[in-house]
Amino acid sequence: MCEARAKDRFGRIAAVCSAEGMPDLGDALVRDGYAIDLGGAAGNPYRDAEAEAQASKRGIWRGTFERPSDWRQANPRAAE
């Protein structure tokens, strides 16, 4: 089940989704290192979970990882 919490600047819905025995699937994914906290309209709800995953070198944090926003900033699209 998902509960809408906010909308971002593009009108996309930020929601918290849960499953039986797991009140926040997003938190579980970030805490296990399978997702990152993007911040945005909902603030930074998973900042602590991401820091824990990073410190424990779980999931994407086991090796070298570059945030998509950092990569896009370093590699801008060529003018068309």
Q: What is the pLDDT of residue 41?
A: 60
pLDDT of 64 over the 70 cut? yes
The CATH number of the structural domain formed by 2-74 is 2.40.50.90
Burial level of 16, CB count in 10 A (0-12/13-18/19+)? middle
Q: Domain locations in the chain?
A: 2-74
30 — pLDDT class (breaks 50, 70, 90) = very high
pLDDT of 42 over the 70 cut? no
DSSP characters over the chain: -EEEEEE-TTSPEEEEE-BTTBS-HHHHHHHTTSS----GGG--TTHHHHHHHHHHT-GGGGS----HHHHHHHSPPPP-
pTM listed for this prediction = 0.81
